[in-house]
Amino acid sequence: MSNYVLAMTGASGAIYGVRLLEQLLVAGAEVELVISPAGAAVIEQELGVSVDLDHFALDDLLPLTLDKTPALMQAVFGTRARRAAGDDGLRSTKVSGESVLPVRYHHYRDLLAPIASGSSRTSGMVICPCSGGTLSGVAHGTSENLIHRAADVHLKERRKLVLVPRETPLSLVQLDNLRRCAEAGAIVLPAMPGFYHGVQSLRDVVDFVVARILDQLGVEHSLMRRWGE
């Protein structure tokens, strides 16, 4: 089974990260999730939900997804867990103990987490959304928190690292940091949606960006109609 590190930081566009989390689970992937304090603040500001980084519960995020499908329920809970929890399983499941969820949450200060080491195997990492501060930390290899360190690990191990900045306009400093990351091997994928796929809703706009991220990871999806289809 593929497993991906997903870090959500303090740039606007929290819904991109939440939708990506959902779609990775729908695809049957395991997710190593890290959220920065600024990322949690943006989630609360933009989505109206308070995320407790010290006592995290996945159901704080999943109800915010744009399309909560039966496939998502199956991917997250499995048949046995859904029968035990009932139709309202999202509200009763926590990421702790012997959780059946394919999501492992790591506190952003936990530098002893497995993903802080190159010996821990992953299929790739995405920072979505990626703030300017996080971008700087990755570009300069500061490893001040688990997000920086995990990104550094993916670069040194030559694994796929996708950065999704949403800032606009960009300063020369930020452009230089993007260049440094790209030269180090990261994929810079700005949250710049296209409109050629028949946009009719906000979900279509969000899904365009999430689809491009999934394409970079090699994860199958049906979020959008491709050019020429």
Question: For 179-203, how does the pLDDT look when each residue is reduced to its tens digit (9 = 90+)?
Answer: 999 999 999 999 999 998 888 888 8
Rounded percentage of the chain residues whose pLDDT exceeds 70: 83
Q: Give the max Cα distance, the chain.
A: 54
Question: For 125-162, how does the pLDDT look when each residue is reduced to its tens digit (9 = 90+)?
Answer: 999 999 999 999 999 999 999 999 999 999 999 999 99
pLDDT of residue 207: 92
Structure confidence at residue 119 as a pLDDT band (50, 70, 90): very high
pLDDT of residue 75: 42
pLDDT of residue 203: 87
Residue 5 phi/psi, 5-degree rounding, is -90, 130
- Quick check: 8 and 101 in contact, CB under 8 A? no
Per the structure block, which two tokens stand in for 180?
Answer: 């440094």
Q: Is the pLDDT of residue 84 over 50?
A: no
Question: For 32-56, how does the pLDDT look when each residue is reduced to its tens digit (9 = 90+)?
Answer: 999 999 999 999 999 888 899 999 9
**At a CB cut-off of 8 Å and minimum separation 6, what does 41 contact?**
10
113 burial level (CB within 10 Å; 0-12, 13-18, 19+): buried
Q: State pTM to two decimals.
A: 0.85
pLDDT of residue 173: 98
Per the prediction, the chain carries an average pLDDT of 86
pLDDT of residue 227: 84
- Rounded to an integer, the average pLDDT of 99-127 is 93
As beta bridge partners, residue 41 has: none
pLDDT of residue 100: 56
pLDDT of residue 197: 84
Q: Is the pLDDT of residue 76 over 70?
A: no
Rounded percentage of the chain residues whose pLDDT exceeds 90: 69
Round to whole Å and give the CA distance between 28 and 1.
7
Q: In sequence order, what E strands does 37-190 have?
A: 103-105, 125-130, 161-165, 187-188
**E strand or H helix at 30:** strand 30-35
First to last CA, the chain: 29
Sheet holding 103-105, edge to edge: 103-105, 30-35, 3-8, 125-130, 161-165, 187-188
All domains of the chain in start order, with CATH = 3-217 (3.40.50.1950)
Round to whole Å and give the CA distance between 203 and 224.
10
Round to whole Å and give the CA distance between 15 and 18.
5
DSSP one-letter code for 113: S
Q: How many CB atoms lie within 10 A of CB 226?
A: 8
Q: Is the pLDDT of residue 70 over 70?
A: no
On the CB side of 216, CA atoms within 13 Å amount to: 22
Question: For 159-182, how does the pLDDT look when each residue is reduced to its tens digit (9 = 90+)?
Answer: 999 999 999 999 999 999 999 999
pLDDT of residue 77: 38
